């Protein structure tokens, strides 16, 4: 037989595009349209419905950026359409390639009942099936004219990312507002031909199945009268029945389709618009669930559920019913789909506390999985947190975006820093926006790494990022793929059902140990420094406020601010969403975030001051409140006392220019350029700075990645570097920077359009050089680093992560190590040789890089350089990213072991507070082992008055510690993160108010201490 394959495939494409798809709606009549443009921010639904609109015609321009327009469409169903299915076609000016990224709408009945959402792939509203003819149609559309930020030429700077700069130019053209007859037979033919055409294209060219489909399609096209598609569609479908009913082979891959609409809680739209995106999407999905009995939809992010409950109660009622039916599924058990690299220990724990508790309180549903399809890599401390929250599973697909290395598994056990393992799945479909295309289904089956030992994978199905969700076309395609020869088998299932099957068939999956590093989007550890500082400071203020509020409640009876803490925690957790904290959202989002963090700081400082005043009492004794988990200057952790002082620091001129700071423990030489050329550990007789090099070196790189400006830094940025060594002034400071007995040197530099002012200080009795850096930043597409070349030979270094630290190699032996050229730390990085190490601690930065080189000239020593990432200046999506003044604090700690790194990391983030009062304040809970770090001391969330203490082993070894309560303890219970008893955990040994615990390396533990009634 002659090969006419290409001819038939080309015929299929043209006939579908030009004849069959247009015949889905064979008849239409225009609707009358009127519009009212809300003058500012979105208005309540009742106000929008009551507004008096003005007539408008199709073809009119509408919608200022970020505006809201209320359209009213009215019409009458023609009498001659009686008995047929009729839909309203409402095209606001959509580009079908941009679902979720442009204008959207929510349709209402006149009484305010929501009908469904409108987006570029969902433009229809059912009027009747069948209609009687003559019905009056009246619909209202709350239309959002969200501008297109990420256009066909992506990453171009735009002022549209903030309503304050976006202007008022209309963004869209009203395209179609019609009533139309919907021919379901033709629509079904379209789905038949699309499924078969897409499947055919994925089969081998020499496959018999491919040619069976080709011949059936050819016959079907012959059966279609192109002048009467509607009258011949059924005849054409008959020609396809046999190939559509051929069953899949027994070994076919199994795909659990989960209805999905990944909705970024803020990204290329502000938070307030996400509230409406969620309402539109949930309206669509509840409507689709009513129409499609096999369909199952899952939605994560308890915050988004809470928005629906608060802002759209009429939609919430439909959601609750669908949840009760078991088909609208709460997923993930987190407050938002957060970043997991940068949130601190307690914040990561509280993501699960608040997320799981919401679903438990509202629906009685316990989530067993963490659902994080789009998060930019996963910290090595996360498995323990997931398990401590009562979950055992994780889903993500983002690691498939890695640029360099292909991850070796799709289903595996992920082991964290403490040894906890979590059953993990990466959907091999490689998207969280699966649309049931044949290419996607075939890719999932081919790509699945665990073939031969497992056969199940999951496909999150529906338009996402900006929401939208699953469409009726996707459901119809999945129905045909349920059991179809040549394809994977597709069935709608809940996440739990998928994981149950996957675990049952794969009882001993491979193990991946350590972080799940995304080899992409590394610059999210640095972009939008103000947002990152707001997060770090909010986390520590929350911990401090809970500590002092709990202490004051127990000691003085001061009311504990439960509601305030709940609200503030949820606000902080929301801003850890994986585009807000990483700095990849539009300017509007970060402008609001900075204001929110300022407000939160004011509230929390108020709570702290009130509690400390209650604890201190009236008096004139100077007290220092120490909220850090380690004693300092004689003040115990979690206590208040008069601090001890010891010695002084001398500042002297340095031969050749510059200054020397010496406190008897460290001798710091700062040259005439303001660079640290020596940091000498006097006791150890050891130099910290590599020979011939200088620390405190600011380095400037060009920063223009190939894509994803705010997200990415590409390795070639290192090829060009400018050392900022010129100084306007280098002079002794007025004090030690921290106040008290110390000495400092002040350095001022200018470069480009920017200015840097630094204070380098050495306090008496301290083994740390503090660097306070203020940058007035006005660069564009530049990357600013702060370098510390260290005379340390280390094959690995430690970075703090949640509830511990994680080691990374300093070398690049393999492509996996080379790809980690920018990484995350929390409060410290630490390098060491046996017996001596160095820590670099920070108060608000996350990104860093570590490189090593062997020196020549007969030395052959190793220089290991740590560089802290300070600032970037990408122009998309916020063209003014980080412009302005920023303040950072770092410290160089020579001679530090890992315990010193932990302690100094806390110290730089939790400064002491000075209050006058009656006398010392004892800790509410104390611990006698420095390796055991208290991350939370608070009252139980249930209002019982129990004291909850969370702690972990922080040094990476085993620990035995005694916790002493500063109150009478009636009982102690080991709990999960939600403060529920762990039945399998034995109660620790208690002797009165002293509790003895034993911890394995990095083990996390939560204790609930019941207070004895007075």
594 DSSP 8-state letter: H
Contact assessment for residue 203 and residue 193, using Cβ atoms and an 8 Å cutoff? no
16 DSSP 8-state letter: I
Tokens of 66: 């970020």
* Cα distances (Å, whole numbers) of residue 298 to 258, 326, 340, 494, 529: 7, 10, 21, 7, 34
Burial class (CB in 10 A: 0-12, 13-18, 19+), 994: middle
Contact assessment for residue 402 and residue 820, using Cβ atoms and an 8 Å cutoff? no
- Cα 922 from chain centre: 39
Which residues are bridge partners to 498 per DSSP?
none
User: Is the sign of the CA dihedral 560, 561, 565, 567 positive or negative?
Assistant: positive
**476-103-593 Cα angle (round to 5):** 115
CA–CA separation, 823 and 785 (whole Å):
13
Dihedral through CA 474, CA 477, CA 479, CA 482, nearest 10? -110
Please count the CA atoms within 13 angstroms of the CA of 268 that sit on its side-chain side. 27
Which residues, in sequence order, are CB contacts of 847 under 8 Å at separation 6+?
522, 523, 525, 526, 822, 823, 824, 868, 869
Tokens of 226: 């192109």
CA–CA separation, 941 and 975 (whole Å):
13
**559-561-564 Cα angle (round to 5):** 160
CA–CA separation, 590 and 579 (whole Å):
10
Burial class (CB in 10 A: 0-12, 13-18, 19+), 449: middle
160 DSSP 8-state letter: G
DSSP alpha helix (H) spans, 766-897: 815-818
Annotation says 374 is catalytic: yes
Task: Select which of 339, 374, 465, 681 is catalytic.
Answer: 374
Strands ordered across the beta sheet of 28-30: 28-30, 176-181, 86-91, 124-128
Strands ordered across the beta sheet of 136-145: 54-55, 32-37, 67-76, 136-145, 104-108, 114-118
Q: Does residue 877 have a cis bond before it (omega within 30 degrees)? A: yes
- Whose tokens are 């078991």? That residue is 326
Longest CA–CA span in the chain (Å) reads: 103
170 phi/psi in degrees, rounded to 5: -55, 140
Contact assessment for residue 371 and residue 334, using Cβ atoms and an 8 Å cutoff? yes
Residue 786's CB is within 10 A of a number of other CB atoms, namely 26
Q: Which of 920, 922, 521 is nearest to 709 (CA)?
A: 521
Q: Which of 374, 277, 280 is nearest to 334 (CA)?
A: 374
CA–CA separation, 301 and 286 (whole Å):
17
Contact assessment for residue 569 and residue 542, using Cβ atoms and an 8 Å cutoff? yes
Tokens of 258: 């989960």
Which residues, in sequence order, are CB contacts of 701 under 8 Å at separation 6+?
717, 718, 720, 721, 722, 782, 783, 784, 785
CA–CA separation, 691 and 688 (whole Å):
9
Residues with a known catalytic role: 374
């Amino acid at each position: 037989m002659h090969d006419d394959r290409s001819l038939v495939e080309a015929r299929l494409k043209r006939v579908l595009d030009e004849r069959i798809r247009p015949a889905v709606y064979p008849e239409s009549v225009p609707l009358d349209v009127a519009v009212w443009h809300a003058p500012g921010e979105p208005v309540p639904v009742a106000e929008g419905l009551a507004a008096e609109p003005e007539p408008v015609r199709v073809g009119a321009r509408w919608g200022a950026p970020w505006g809201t327009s209320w359209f009213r469409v009215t019409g009458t169903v023609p009498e001659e359409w009686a008995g047929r299915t009729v839909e309203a076609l409402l095209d606001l000016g959509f580009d079908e390639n941009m679902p979720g990224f442009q204008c959207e709408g929510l349709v209402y009945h006149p009484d305010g009942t929501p009908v469904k959402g409108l987006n570029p792939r969902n433009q229809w509203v059912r009027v009747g099936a069948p209609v009687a003819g003559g019905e009056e149609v009246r619909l209202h559309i709350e239309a959002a004219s969200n501008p297109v930020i990420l256009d066909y030429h992506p990453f171009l700077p735009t002022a549209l990312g903030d309503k304050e700069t976006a202007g008022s130019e209309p963004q869209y053209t009203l395209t179609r507002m019609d009533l139309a007859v919907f021919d379901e037979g033709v629509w079904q033919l379209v789905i038949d031909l699309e499924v078969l055409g897409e499947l055919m294209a994925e089969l081998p060219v020499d496959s018999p199945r491919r040619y069976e489909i080709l011949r059936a399609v050819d016959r079907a096209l012959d059966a279609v009268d192109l002048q009467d598609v509607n009258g011949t569609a059924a005849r054409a479908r008959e020609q396809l029945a046999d190939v559509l009913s051929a069953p899949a082979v027994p070994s076919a891959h199994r795909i659990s389709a989960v209805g999905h609409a990944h909705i970024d809680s803020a990204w290329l739209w502000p938070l307030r618009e996400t509230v409406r995106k969620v309402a539109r999407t949930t309206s669509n999905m509840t409507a689709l669930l009513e129409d499609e009995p096999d369909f199952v939809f899952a939605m994560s992010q308890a915050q988004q559920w809470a928005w629906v409950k608060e802002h759209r109660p009429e939609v919430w009622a439909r959601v609750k019913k669908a949840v009760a039916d078991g088909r609208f599924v709460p997923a993930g058990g987190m407050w938002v789909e957060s970043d997991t690299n940068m949130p601190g220990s307690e914040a990561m724990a509280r993501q699960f506390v608040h997320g799981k508790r919401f679903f438990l309180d509202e629906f009685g549903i316990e989530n067993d999985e963490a659902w994080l399809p789009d998060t930019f890599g996963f910290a090595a401390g996360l498995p323990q947190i997931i398990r401590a929250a009562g979950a055992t599973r994780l889903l993500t697909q983002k690691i498939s975006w890695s640029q360099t290395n292909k991850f070796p598994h799709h289903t595996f056990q992920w082991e964290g820093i403490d040894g906890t393992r979590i059953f993990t799945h990466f959907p091999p479909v490689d998207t969280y926006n699966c649309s049931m295309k044949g290419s996607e289904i075939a890719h999932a089956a081919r790509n699945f790494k665990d073939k031969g030992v497992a056969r199940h994978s999951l496909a999150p199905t529906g338009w996402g990022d900006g929401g939208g969700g699953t469409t009726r076309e996707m459901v119809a395609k999945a129905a045909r793929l349920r059991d179809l020869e040549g394809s994977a088998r597709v069935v709608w299932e809940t996440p739990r059902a998928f994981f149950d099957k996957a675990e049952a068939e794969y009882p001993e999956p491979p193990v991946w140990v350590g972080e799940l590093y995304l080899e992409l989007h590394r610059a999210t550890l640095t972009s939008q420094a103000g947002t990152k500082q707001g997060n770090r400071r909010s986390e520590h203020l929350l911990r401090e406020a809970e500590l002092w509020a709990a202490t004051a409640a127990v000691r003085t009876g001061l009311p504990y601010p439960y509601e305030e803490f709940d609200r503030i925690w949820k606000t902080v957790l929301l801003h850890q969403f994986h585009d807000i904290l990483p700095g990849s959202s539009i300017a509007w989002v970060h402008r609001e975030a900075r204001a929110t963090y300022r407000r939160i700081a004011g509230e929390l400082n108020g709570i702290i001051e009130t509690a400390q005043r209650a604890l201190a009492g009236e008096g004139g004794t100077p007290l220092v409140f120490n909220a850090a988990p380690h004693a300092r200057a004689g003040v115990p952790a979690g206590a208040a006392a008069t601090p001890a002082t010891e010695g002084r620091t001398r500042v002297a001129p340095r031969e050749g220019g510059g200054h020397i700071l010496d406190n008897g423990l460290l001798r710091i030489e700062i040259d005439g350029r303001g660079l640290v050329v020596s940091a000498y550990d006097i006791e150890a007789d050891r130099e910290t700075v590599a020979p011939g090099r200088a620390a405190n070196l600011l380095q400037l790189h060009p920063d223009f990645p190939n894509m994803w400006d705010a997200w990415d830094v590409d390795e070639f940025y290192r090829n060009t570097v400018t050392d900022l060594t010129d100084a306007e002034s280098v002079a002794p400071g007025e004090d030690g920077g921290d106040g008290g007995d110390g000495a400092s040197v002040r350095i001022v530099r200018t470069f480009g359009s920017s200015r840097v002012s630094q204070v380098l200080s050495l306090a008496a009795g301290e083994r740390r050089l503090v660097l306070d850096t203020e940058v007035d930043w006005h660069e564009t597409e530049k990357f600013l680093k702060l370098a510390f070349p260290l005379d340390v030979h280390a094959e690995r270094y430690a970075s703090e992560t949640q509830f511990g630290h994680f080691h990374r190699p300093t070398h690049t032996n393999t492509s996996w190590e080379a790809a980690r050229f920018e990484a995350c730390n929390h409060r410290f990085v630490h390098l060491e040789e046996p017996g001596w190490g160095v820590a670099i601690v920070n108060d608000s930065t996350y990104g860093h890089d570590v490189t090593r080189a062997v020196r020549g000239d007969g030395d052959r020593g190793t220089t290991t350089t740590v560089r802290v990432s300070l600032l970037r200046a990408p122009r998309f999506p916020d063209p003014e990213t980080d412009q302005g003044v920023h303040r950072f604090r770092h410290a160089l700690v020579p001679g530090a072991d890992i315990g010193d790194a932990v302690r100094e990391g806390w110290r730089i983030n939790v400064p002491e507070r000075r209050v006058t009062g009656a006398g010392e304040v004892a800790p509410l809970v104390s611990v006698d082992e420095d390796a055991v770090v208290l991350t939370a001391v608070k009252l139980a969330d249930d209002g019982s008055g129990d004291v909850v203490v969370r702690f972990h082993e922080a040094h990476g070894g085993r620990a035995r510690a005694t916790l002493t309560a500063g109150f009478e303890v009636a009982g102690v219970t080991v709990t999960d993160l939600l403060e529920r008893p762990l039945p399998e955990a034995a109660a620790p040994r208690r002797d009165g108010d002293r509790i003895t615990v034993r911890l394995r390396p990095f083990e996390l533990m939560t204790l609930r201490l019941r207070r004895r009634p007075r």
